[in-house]
């Protein structure tokens, strides 16, 4: 069993595993340096928003679950709440409050925490709060993953192809008449997820059921229905991103594992093999997501060339610009890892894109249900990071990505999240290489 040594083409990308691994080695140190720089290490998030879907009371109280916040006075004036609130004040007067009424722009694929006057909005030094093993597990985390994967059911795809039928059935959305009537099924799904007092909130999670649900989704997304390839590409991409994120989080947990018996942190090979290595499609989805993110950071390069970093020092701004451009240049060698032009084609393209966005925005909301502060922070950040990558790829043509002609296309938080998410996936690919070496070592007769 060649657990962690995948070969060949990565499905739905223009790349094979080997070229991703080569480019990952080439750019790893550069992205690591970037996320430690002043501009990229500080992140603003609302960590205590109420879960909108069910009563999430089981907040993890382990020390490793908590997040160390920082005093905003250490930040450049332009990034502080006061400065940002002032920007949000409209010249049209207090009755006109676009930011209060509309939590996202039409181009956005996710919700950014933009209520900056809320007391629960905090600043975090990401380098001080690494994503790693926290001990958060059980029904709470299982329920969140299940809700996230349930967003994989696309009603438009269903209407055109019946391709989502399996999904509706395994979600037990009701009678078969619902399953064969996509609108009824969709309505049932929406009401279940949206009503805080819905029965869904109290359904005990059966682990075997959850496992089966996810296995079926994986099979379907991995080409269970090849005749629907054309239509289902978007749905597959959606699934691969979510599963890639899940794999990447699991890899960090296994790579920075806390052994409770010895009290030592370190890589746990069994954890990796069980959760990822023995599931080729989960491994593939990490490389897939890396390829998509790589294409997005490459595409946003020209925008960042003229971007105002506002770190509080001209020298630091120039240093950041240089580091970003140097990093982007080294991603040029493999520009077409992912071809976004293949997606959202055909008569239903606009409706499908709208639905894709709605699902992804729902995932942002589901992240407020994660019952562990640090997991919530990284879950939210990486959802914003993936959402920003999708926005770069699908909301703008290359020529629009110019901050002089089109300022304010991206908030600082979106750029920080995109690069930190890319770094998390870079660390995952790096960890796969480490686990591969550990596995080979274990297999070598001594």
Active site residue ranges: 372, 375
Minimum distance, C-beta of residue 326 to ligand FAD, in the bound complex (Å) = 30
Distinct helix (H) and strand (E) counts, the chain: 18, 5
- Residue 265 pairs in a beta bridge with 258
Cα 231 to Cα 157: distance, rounded to the nearest angstrom: 7
Minimum distance, C-beta of residue 393 to ligand FAD, in the bound complex (Å) = 22
Cα 132 to Cα 130: distance, rounded to the nearest angstrom: 6
The secondary structure of residue 117, as a DSSP letter, is T
Let me know if 176 is exposed, middle or buried by CB neighbors in 10 A (0-12, 13-18, 19+).
exposed
Q: Toward ligand FAD, which CB reaches closer, 163 or 277?
A: 277
Q: Toward ligand FAD, which CB reaches closer, 148 or 418?
A: 148
Q: Toward ligand FAD, which CB reaches closer, 253 or 300?
A: 253
Backbone angles phi, psi at 361, to 5 degrees: -65, -35
Q: Toward ligand FAD, which CB reaches closer, 39 or 257?
A: 257
Q: Toward ligand FAD, which CB reaches closer, 311 or 420?
A: 420
Cα 213 to Cα 391: distance, rounded to the nearest angstrom: 29
Minimum distance, C-beta of residue 51 to ligand FAD, in the bound complex (Å) = 12
C-alpha 38: how far from its chain's center?
A: 22
- Contact assessment for residue 169 and residue 179, using Cβ atoms and an 8 Å cutoff: yes
Exposure letters 335-369 (e unless 16+ CB within 10 A, then b): eebbebeebbeeebeeebbebbbebbbbbbbbbbb
- Contact assessment for residue 386 and residue 380, using Cβ atoms and an 8 Å cutoff: no
Backbone angles phi, psi at 134, to 5 degrees: -125, -15
Q: Toward ligand FAD, which CB reaches closer, 163 or 371?
A: 371
Q: Where are the alpha helices (DSSP H) in 372-411?
A: 373-394
Q: Toward ligand FAD, which CB reaches closer, 54 or 145?
A: 145
**Residue 253 CB contacts under 8 Å (≥ 6 apart), including other chains:** 132, 133, 134, 271, 275
Minimum distance, C-beta of residue 383 to ligand FAD, in the bound complex (Å) = 8
Characterise 177 by phi-psi region: left (phi > 0), alpha (psi -120 to 50), beta (else).
alpha
**Residue 391 CB contacts under 8 Å (≥ 6 apart), including other chains:** 107, 108, 109, 410, 414
Minimum distance, C-beta of residue 253 to ligand FAD, in the bound complex (Å) = 4
Minimum distance, C-beta of residue 376 to ligand FAD, in the bound complex (Å) = 7
The secondary structure of residue 52, as a DSSP letter, is S
Let me know if 101 is exposed, middle or buried by CB neighbors in 10 A (0-12, 13-18, 19+).
exposed
Minimum distance, C-beta of residue 137 to ligand FAD, in the bound complex (Å) = 4
The two beta strands, 42-46 and 69-70, are unpaired
Residues that bind ligand FAD (CB under 6 A): 131, 133-134, 136-137, 141-142, 144-145, 210-211, 214, 218, 243, 246-247, 249-250, 253, 275, 282, 370, 374-375, 378-379
Minimum distance, C-beta of residue 91 to ligand FAD, in the bound complex (Å) = 39
């Amino acid at each position: 069993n060649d657990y962690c040594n995948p070969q060949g083409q990565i499905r739905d990308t223009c790349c094979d595993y080997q070229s991703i691994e080569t480019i990952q080695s080439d750019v790893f140190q550069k992205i690591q340096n970037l996320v430690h720089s002043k501009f990229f290490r500080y992140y603003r998030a609302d960590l205590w928003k109420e879960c909108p879907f069910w009563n999430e009371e089981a907040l993890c109280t382990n020390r490793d679950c908590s997040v160390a916040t920082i005093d905003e006075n250490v930040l450049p004036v332009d990034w502080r709440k006061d400065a940002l609130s002032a920007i949000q004040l409209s010249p049209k007067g207090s009755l006109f409050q676009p930011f209060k009424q509309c939590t996202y722009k039409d181009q956005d694929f996710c919700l950014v925490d933009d209520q900056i006057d809320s007391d629960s909005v905090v600043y975090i030094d990401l380098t001080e709060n690494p994503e790693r093993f926290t001990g958060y597990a059980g029904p709470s985390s299982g329920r969140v993953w299940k809700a996230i994967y349930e967003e994989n059911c696309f009603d438009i795809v269903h209407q055109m192809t019946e391709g989502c039928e399996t999904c509706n059935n395994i979600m037990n959305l009701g009678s078969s008449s619902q399953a064969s009537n996509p609108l009824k099924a969709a309505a049932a799904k929406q009401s279940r997820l949206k009503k805080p007092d819905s029965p869904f909130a109290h359904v005990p999670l059966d682990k075997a059921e959850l496992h089966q649900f996810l296995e079926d989704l994986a099979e379907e997304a991995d080409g269970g229905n090849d005749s629907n390839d054309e239509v289902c590409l978007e749905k597959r991409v959606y699934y691969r991103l979510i599963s890639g994120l899940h794999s990447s989080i699991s890899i960090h947990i296994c790579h920075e594992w806390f052994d409770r018996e010895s009290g030592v942190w370190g890589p746990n090979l069994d954890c990796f093999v069980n959760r990822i290595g023995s599931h080729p499609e989960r491994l593939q989805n990490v490389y897939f997501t890396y390829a998509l993110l790589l294409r997005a950071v490459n595409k946003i390069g020209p925008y960042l060339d003229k971007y105002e970093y506002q770190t509080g020092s001209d020298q630091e701004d120039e240093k950041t610009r240089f580091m970003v451009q140097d990093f982007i240049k080294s991603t040029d060698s493999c520009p077409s890892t992912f071809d976004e032009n293949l997606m959202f084609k055909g008569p239903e393209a606009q409706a499908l894109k709208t639905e894709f966005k709605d699902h992804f925005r729902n995932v942002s909301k589901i992240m407020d249900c994660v019952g562990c502060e640090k997991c919530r922070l990284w879950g939210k950040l990486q959802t914003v990071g993936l959402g920003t990558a999708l926005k770069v790829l699908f909301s703008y043509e290359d020529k629009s990505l110019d901050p002089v002609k089109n300022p304010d296309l991206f908030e600082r938080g979106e750029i920080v999240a995109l690069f930190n998410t890319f770094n998390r996936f870079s660390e995952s690919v790096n960890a796969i290489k480490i686990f591969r070496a550990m596995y080979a070592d274990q297999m070598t007769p001594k």
